[in-house]
Amino acid sequence: MGLQSVLPAIGREFHLADTLVAGAFAISALMWTLTSPFWARWSDSIGRKKVILIGLTGFVVSMTGFGLAATSGIEGWLGAGVAFILMATARTIYGVFGSASPIASQAYVADRTTPEQRTQAMSLLASAQGLGTVIGPVLSPFFILPLVGLAGPMYVYALVGLVVLLLLLLVLR
């Protein structure tokens, strides 16, 4: 959700219509909706941890790809149209793979809690996700950095995702 506060500025930088910018954002939501049931079934068959890691890897790849596409367009290395198509592709990757982690995380919590603990544990997980939805757009403008400009938030979020991915590889049972 951190992209919400910088995506309009990127769209203006590329001289794109607002509807195109909104479409790039909406495509991830559509893919998320379509692929979530797949990830739920897959987490039952291959395991929660593997699906969580797949989701986080998709997040890191998509944020990095989006950042590189945005940087390439802003710096003029690619035309705005090509850069925008690459950004939309990165958002599609996020929708397809990013949906894996929340689904598997919920299942992981359900697997590891008693019925008495489950409601509180699930509400804490939902609260953490909701907090990220609020904090991401607020923090993003602070990550517009001198060397990378408007793409800075994507690189920062990709780095945070990579750190979480590595921690989960080491810690999650």
pLDDT of res. 120: 92
pLDDT surpasses 90 at 159: yes
pLDDT surpasses 80 at 111: yes
User: Using CA atoms in the order 126, 128, 131, 132, what is the torsion angle rounded to 10 degrees?
Assistant: -110
Distance (Å, whole) CA 53 – CA 39 = 12
Region 29-37: mean pLDDT is: 94
pLDDT surpasses 80 at 173: no
Question: Any residues with CB less than 8 A from the CB of 153 and at least 6 apart, and which?
Answer: 2, 3, 5, 6, 139, 140, 141, 143, 144
Question: Any residues with CB less than 8 A from the CB of 26 and at least 6 apart, and which?
Answer: none
pLDDT surpasses 90 at 77: yes
Q: How crowded is residue 155: how many other Cβ atoms within 10 Å of its Cβ?
A: 20
DSSP code per residue over 86-98: HHHHHHHHHHHHH
pLDDT of res. 35: 95
How far apart, in Å, are the Cα atoms of 16 and each of 27, 43, 159? 16, 39, 28
Percentage of the chain beyond pLDDT 90 is 60
Region 43-55: mean pLDDT is: 95
Distance (Å, whole) CA 166 – CA 57 = 10
Region 104-126: mean pLDDT is: 90
pLDDT in tens, 120-145: 989 998 898 888 888 888 888 899 98
pLDDT of res. 23: 86
